[in-house]
Amino acid sequence: MIFKDFSKTYELLDPFENVSSTISALNDSAEIISNFDHFKDGWLLLSSGEYLEYLNPFTKETGKYPPCEVTFTRFGLSTCPTSSDCLTVGMFGYKNMATIGWFDAAVGEWEYYDAENSDTDIQFVPTLKIGPKYHNNAFYSLARDGCLGELKFAEGEISWKVYKHPFYEETSSLNSSYLVEVDGELVSVFIGGHGSWVNVFKFNISDKCWIKLDTLGEHTLFVSPASSFSIKTDKSEMRNRIYLPRRKENKIVFHSRDTGKYHTSTSANSLDDFYGTKAQSFCCWVYISL
């Protein structure tokens, strides 16, 4: 789903068929919604200053959180925001410190934590690009250099740990990174400067270490700053791909793990990097189960 223009229209684009349709305003307010902060299970989180709103773009159900003391840049949800057991986590980074806020629907107010240090003494330099990912009863966040932050809640207490990134080389060339859940496992996608390389790793929760993945098997990944997820498909021509928030000649770009190159579904030509493609700044992947 892509914010199209300031006439309050949005484009829904099927990456497999490249079929495009236009929908009108996502809600009945006069505000133009372009800041997709997080999408999960049909729900969008949308921030505006101190306020955070949740919205289902299909049912048009909406609601607001109490005001936040911190202007968070990214958010994550544990479950549906209308559920009484939902946890909403926001993160804001400044220099080498991350401020974390969480809203427990059962409590009804925001609480805050300065995650300057962790139990593992690994520095966590926040990124503004992606928000926390809920997985296995914890929230996980990637730092600017690929380190992984783990936030857990237990009996009213929180724990914050940071685990080292999976790279041996310098990470200054890291362009973007994403977290995806694949068959119950936490998977990271790291992309080098201008798309010069793509690496995929699985995080072993038990051993707290990264395992490099050369193939996605029967899975296809969809990644963007606001939402990332995987699907398992029985169509061999759609497997082992990573669909990106980028377009070339109005077609969605994907990275093939088979060829190691970038493609679009309607072109036989491949690309070695992002040259000739355009990033989609205001967008999110939406999964609709029919």
pLDDT at residue 188, rounded to an integer:
95
| Token duo for residue 163 | 């685990």
What would you measure as the largest C-alpha separation in the chain, in angstroms? 55
Residues of the chain with pLDDT under 70: 5-8, 25-35, 49-50, 95-96, 116-120, 128, 168-172, 288-290
| pTM reported for the whole predicted model | 0.90
pLDDT, position 243: 95
Q: Would you list the DSSP string of 117-131?
A: --TT-----B-SS--
Q: pLDDT tens-digit profile of 20-43? A: 877 775 655 545 555 678 888 888
Confidence (pLDDT) at 49: 62
With tokens 């990573």, the residue in question is: 242
pLDDT reported for residue 186: 96
